């Protein structure tokens, strides 16, 4: 269940976010397969106005560490999160510990920035449709290969100017996502999601699509 897989359904249903990584570097062939998957994604009018920046030099990893530290300061109060006591083994403490480790060790791992060109007439939300499908393909490829990955917003908010300056991003380009990759310490496994029946509507807001959501046995997994 948790090893590499070529199965589409297993990959999608077990592509859990990985926040803790081993010290083993990510090899070029693995990274290339993930990037190739990103390039296969759809984009508006198939324009492919995207670039994928691999950050792994010591200098750029320093910048990533600074962006991650900044992000941590921002999310601590939002999520009312603090460093858990060493002996706290509750689920929340374990989750928080993984989140702190991700941010604390950010500069030790390879990051991939997903950049997209802004177009004058395209609203920003719609622009997301020309970069996040590539992000998702990348994450699924990583899952398929057994690689761990974490989608972050480190290249947004206060981290954006840091990373923008560090990679020389042109003014009319924006960062969609910042993904951290590494070999997982811990396991991939079934994703935790709300049941489909709560989020699928038929024809109008709030109208349950019962006949559809009950048509698969895994509907409420």
Site for its own copies in 85-114 (CB under 8 A): none
Half-sphere exposure of 70 (CA within 13 A, CB side): 18
Which is nearer to its own copies, 11 or 102 (by Cβ)? 11
Candidate list 66, 68, 102, 135; residue touching its own copies; CB under 8 A: 135
> Is residue 24 a contact point for its own copies (CB under 8 A)?
no
The residue to which tokens 């993930």 are assigned: 34
Half-sphere exposure of 111 (CA within 13 A, CB side): 32
> Is residue 216 a contact point for its own copies (CB under 8 A)?
yes
> Is residue 170 a contact point for its own copies (CB under 8 A)?
yes
Which is nearer to its own copies, 86 or 215 (by Cβ)? 215
The token pair that represents 199 in the structure block:
């989020």
Candidate list 147, 163, 177, 181; residue touching its own copies; CB under 8 A: 177
- Which of 132, 133, 141 lies closest to 176, judged by CA? 132
Give the pairing type, strands 110-117 and 148-152. Answer: unpaired
Candidate list 24, 59, 87, 171; residue touching its own copies; CB under 8 A: 59
Which is nearer to its own copies, 85 or 199 (by Cβ)? 199
Q: What is the DSSP letter of 216?
A: S
Candidate list 3, 80, 87, 205; residue touching its own copies; CB under 8 A: 205
Pairwise CA distance, residues 208 & 199, whole Å: 8
Nearest distance in Å: CB 23, its own copies: 20
The residue to which tokens 């199965």 are assigned: 7
Under 8 Å CB-to-CB from 135, ≥6 apart: which residues? Answer: 38, 114, 151, 176, 177, 179
Instruction: Select from 82-90, 101-109, 127-135, 180-188 the region that touches its own copies (CB under 8 A).
Output: 127-135
Pairwise CA distance, residues 176 & 116, whole Å: 7
Nearest distance in Å: CB 104, its own copies: 19
The residue to which tokens 């083994």 are assigned: 89
Candidate list 24, 87, 91, 124; residue touching its own copies; CB under 8 A: 124
Instruction: Select from 65-73, 85-93, 180-188, 200-208 the region that touches its own copies (CB under 8 A).
Output: 200-208
> Is residue 182 a contact point for its own copies (CB under 8 A)?
no
> Is residue 213 a contact point for its own copies (CB under 8 A)?
yes
- Which of 209, 174, 184, 181 lies closest to 195, judged by CA? 209
Candidate list 53, 65, 67, 71; residue touching its own copies; CB under 8 A: 53
């Amino acid at each position: 269940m948790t090893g590499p897989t070529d199965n589409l359904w297993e990959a999608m249903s077990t592509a859990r976010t990985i926040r803790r990584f081993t010290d083993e570097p990510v090899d070029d062939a693995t990274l290339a397969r993930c990037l190739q998957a990103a390039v296969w994604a759809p984009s508006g009018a198939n324009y492919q106005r995207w670039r994928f920046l691999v950050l792994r030099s010591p200098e750029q990893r320093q910048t990533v560490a600074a962006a991650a530290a900044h992000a941590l300061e921002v999310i601590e109060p939002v999520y009312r999160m603090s460093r858990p006591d060493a002996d706290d083994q509750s689920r929340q403490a374990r989750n928080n510990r993984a989140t702190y480790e991700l941010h604390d060790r950010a500069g030790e791992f390879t990051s991939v920035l997903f950049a997209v060109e802004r177009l004058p007439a395209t609203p920003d939300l719609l622009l997301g449709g020309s970069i996040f499908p590539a992000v998702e393909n990348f994450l699924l490829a990583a899952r398929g290969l057994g690689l761990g990955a974490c989608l972050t917003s480190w290249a947004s908010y206060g981290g954006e100017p840091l990373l923008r300056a560090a990679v020389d991003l042109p003014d009319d380009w924006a960062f969609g996502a910042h993904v951290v990759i590494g070999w997982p310490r811990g396991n991939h496994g079934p994703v935790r999601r709300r049941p489909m029946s709560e989020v699928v509507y038929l024809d109008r807001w709030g109208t349950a699509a019962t006949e559809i959501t009950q048509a698969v046995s895994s509907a409420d997994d």
